[in-house]
Amino acid sequence: MPYSEKQIKELEHIAKRIRYRIVQMISCAGSGHPGGSLSAADLVTALFFTSLRFDPKRPDWPDRDRFHMSKGHCCPLWYAVLAEAGYFPIDGLKSLRKLGSCFQGHPDRRTPGVEVPSGSLGQGLSVALGMSLAAKIDKKDYRVYCLLGDGEIQEGNIWEAAMASAHYACDNLCAILDYNGFQIDGRIKEVMSLEPLVDKWRAFGWHTIDIDGHNMQEILAAYDEAKTIKHKPAIIIAKTIKGKGVSFMENIVDFHGRAPTKEETEIALRELKD
């Protein structure tokens, strides 16, 4: 469906607010992963506020769509979106990574809205596949979305799950790849190149959608397209910028897993302020 300029602007406004909170949270914690949290903010914002079926007052609603963040180290993004969606008060986000907080450095089920713990890379697509098959067995119409990191898909388990998802014709499953080009050890293409990535997923039997992961119109169109695909899973391969939205973090591998200093935080928040 076409989206109005007003709808696009509102989503972009929410995504910017989400980025602001990501920086705040990680700065308060003194540790965390800003780069990949910021790069996927547009993707997750668009999903939650246009395409995902959920009820924050009933996190265990049986007919909800499922979202799983396989790259669990980027959970500040997930927490910020869940707070924006009304699962819990926004003020609680500042307890990120504090002892006893439900907002841990990798997500677990103490956090309302989190389906399954994650963070051990390479396992998330298998989890999403299980949810997808459960829906088919139970004759439920909910959809399953799984956010993957690009360094993560160097893991063999991802490709086993990819093969099985196509074999079982999991057309209720949509993977979202945050293709920002960096992992903790450096550039993806230098550590272990993924290309030709679109061709690989197609060869594994997936419907592939290649987009600019910061173009809200393209993101929304991709989610709409994924819902129309029958008899095979879909993957949205979204080209993004590591650290998107904060000028000095963009495409800088050091911010994969480093919190900004106090001075850097002040600059970042000024850039992200509405």
For the segment 77-102, what is each residue's pLDDT rounded down to a tens digit? Answer: 999 999 999 999 999 999 999 999 99
Structural domains in the chain, CATH included, are 5-272 (3.40.50.970)
Q: How confident is the model at residue 2 (pLDDT cuts 50, 70, 90)?
A: confident
**Whether the predicted pLDDT of 24 surpasses 80:** yes
Residues forming beta bridges with residue 175, ordered by sequence position: 146, 235
**In this model, does residue 66 exceed pLDDT 70?**
yes
Each residue's pLDDT tens digit, 130-171:
999 999 999 999 999 999 999 999 999 999 999 999 999 999
Distance, CA of 25 to CA of 107 (rounded, Å): 14
- Residue pLDDT, tens place only, 179-188: 999 999 999 9
Q: What is the pTM of this model?
A: 0.96
| Span 208-259, pLDDT tens digits | 999 999 999 999 999 999 999 999 999 999 999 999 999 999 999 999 999 9
